[in-house]
Chain A
Amino acid sequence: MLFKSSKISAVVEWGTLLISTVLVCFFLVVVIWEIVSKGAGQLSWDFITKVPSAGMTKGGILTPIIGTVMLTILTALFAIPFGVCCAIYLNEYAEDNWLTRTIRASIRNLSGVPSIIYGLFGLALFVQALQLGTSLLAAGLTLGLLSLPYIITTTEEALMRIPNSTREAALAVGATKFETIKDVVLPSAMPGILTGVVLTLSRAAGETAPILFTGAAFYINNSNGYLNQEFMALPYHLYMLSTQHQSIEEVRPIAYGTALVLIIVVFFMNLTAFYIRFKYRKSATEM
């Protein structure tokens, strides 16, 4: 009797945990199902190759797509070199002293700073102090700053996984420390670094708050992607279509389409990162 009731309670207990897990998965399913089922009808060649027209109630979303691509490239150009160099400094050069500890603490704090505060900082520094105006460049630099702590952290983790014997072997045959890093450490850490970079950029591509005041525009009538001009971006376009547009109900299908394109872009980048990680793990175990 006692044995039986404990068996039942074990099932109940297991069930409670299972239900919470199922609920979490249910959230993901709702997100994907809602966007895919209502956005898929919008998706067509015209939708992604035509510029918005007739007050954005017709046409496609080419302009915001170009804006987001340009923005992500700028973010990458700025954040990757600085982030990787900083990680190299921390992992390869820095001694354990107050300066290093302060830098590490700063990085941890920076990664917790809300993205809207990066938006304010971008506004104060790039738009106003450096006179870049509300522009693609200002927004790209702002997103670059936002991405910096994530790139540093993931790159440092990748560097840490390279065994010291690898470095010692290079140094022993006469390479300088810089040559060791450039020709031995960085190439072997590359898959790990790439994974972190792609994940960080996918996050940057979906960010809205930092570009609100630094250059994202309600509507622009050209899709040139000039650095010194305002731009349209996918996440901002979705925000705008669903809350700011004068005929919200009419543009709802376009909003669904935009959301779908946005999550396809973000998921594709995430899958790329998973793939790099997966392949790297496989080749690492084969060695």
Chain B
Amino acid sequence: MKYKTRLSLDILFKIVFKGTGLLVLALLGGILAMLVYNSFSFFMDVKPLDFITGMEWSPTAAIPKYGMLPLVLSTTLVTFGAMFIAIPLGIGTAAYIAEYASPRVKNLLKPAIEMLAAVPSVVIGFLGIVVLSPGIADLADLSNGLNALNGAILLAVMALPTIITIAEDAIHAVPKTYKEASYAMGATKWQTLRKIIIPAAAPGIIAAVMLGVGRAIGETMTVLMATGNASILPTSMFDSVKTMTATIAIEMGEVPYQTTHYFALYAIATVLFLMTLAANMLGEYFINRFRKYHAV
């Protein structure tokens, strides 16, 4: 090939590569534009305050009500329930893998956790229907077990791999000298873990939890299948709930194009986007703090 063609190819591809980089910006920009534009159309019809503080979500009633609180509370309830289960289990498992497990056990556990992460959410939701729902109905004496508790347990299973992997990295990254200093003072392994390693790894562990929260808030299929989808203000873990993601998934298929209801679903999506964004940014903030802290 001539030198000139080689050079022009070089320049051409430099432009192509840069173009794809800009495409990513366009993608995020496009998502934001879509959310803002449609939410704005919604707020032309419904006052933002009514949307944010409304206690009733009944968009198909004779006098439609677009209050997002039941949906936000449902999402919050299920997510908190999931974290209540996933945080102790996740940190415990991460600590076991990082501090106690022999290399052989570690080599078995890590792929097992990656397998758990690979199970599609629709399969987890299906198990919520066929395994967990009858179980909960039996134990709590309910007509069916499709409620917030069911969703919380399933979301915990889905968030666990994220939490375990990142928390394990954080615990693993604590300098060995910390541990040795603690042992030298006569501390036991448990005392070292609780008083030295976990506090030192805390930013990383908080990051793990925040990323798990982000995953749980945004998860659609499992909650759609397992929580019963009644749009009322939930009062306990045994109530049927309809999360923000499930609301979008159910109602977007039925709603006429560009009606107030249609725009309302985009407004819900915007709130959802902001909630996951906040969780992920907090997670990232703590990861960076952890990295800086240990780079010294």
Chain A at the B interface: mostly helix, strand, loop or mixed?
A: helix
Which listed residue (A21, A212, A235) contacts B120, Cβ 8 A?
A235
Give chain A residues whose Cβ lies under 8 Å from the Cβ of B25.
102-103, 106
Binds B, one of A48-56, A222-230, A255-263: A255-263
* B24 at the binding interface (Cβ < 8 Å): yes
Residue of B nearest to A121 (CB): B31
**A109 CA to B31 CA, complexed, in Å:** 11
Interface string of A140-160 (1 = CB under 8 A from B): 000001001100100000000
A212 with B92: in contact, given A34-B127, A109-B277, A110-B28 (CB under 8 Å)?
no
Binds A, one of B137-145, B177-185, B199-207, B246-254: B246-254
Give chain B residues whose Cβ lies under 8 Å from the Cβ of A108.
280, 284
Interface string of A1-43 (1 = CB under 8 A from B): 0000010011001101111110111011011001100000000
Interface string of A253-273 (1 = CB under 8 A from B): 001000100110011001000
Residue of A nearest to B247 (CB): A116
Whether A103 contacts B24 by the Cβ 8 Å rule is yes
105-156 of chain A: CB within 8 A of chain B: 106-110, 112-121, 123-125, 128, 145, 148-149, 152
Whether A177 contacts B14 by the Cβ 8 Å rule is yes
Which listed residue (A10, A112, A118) contacts B190, Cβ 8 A?
A10
* B118 at the binding interface (Cβ < 8 Å): yes
Chain B at the A interface: mostly helix, strand, loop or mixed?
A: helix
Give chain A residues whose Cβ lies under 8 Å from the Cβ of B90.
24
* B64 at the binding interface (Cβ < 8 Å): no
| Size class of the contact patch on chain A | 35 or more
Whether B217 contacts A114 by the Cβ 8 Å rule is yes
Binds B, one of A69-77, A82-90, A279-287: A82-90
- Chain A positions near chain B (C-beta within 8 angstroms): 6, 9-10, 13-14, 16-21, 23-25, 27-28, 30-31, 34-35, 82, 85-86, 88-90, 92-94, 102-103, 106-110, 112-121, 123-125, 128, 145, 148-149, 152, 176-179, 181, 202-203, 205-209, 212-213, 235-236, 238-239, 242-243, 252, 255, 259, 262-263, 266-267, 270, 274
Q: What 4 pairs across the A-B complex have the smallest Cβ distances?
A: A114-B218, A206-B120, A20-B92, A112-B280
- Chain B positions near chain A (C-beta within 8 angstroms): 6-7, 9-10, 13-14, 16-25, 27-28, 30-31, 34-35, 38, 88-90, 92-93, 95-97, 99-101, 109, 111-116, 118-127, 129-131, 157, 160, 164, 188-190, 211, 214, 217-221, 224-225, 245, 248-249, 252-253, 257, 265-266, 269, 272-273, 276-277, 279-280, 284
20 residue pairs of the A-B complex, CB under 8 angstroms, read A10-B190, A17-B99, A20-B93, A20-B96, A24-B164, A27-B116, A27-B157, A28-B116, A103-B22, A106-B24, A112-B214, A113-B218, A113-B276, A120-B252, A121-B31, A212-B252, A239-B221, A239-B225, A242-B125, A266-B118
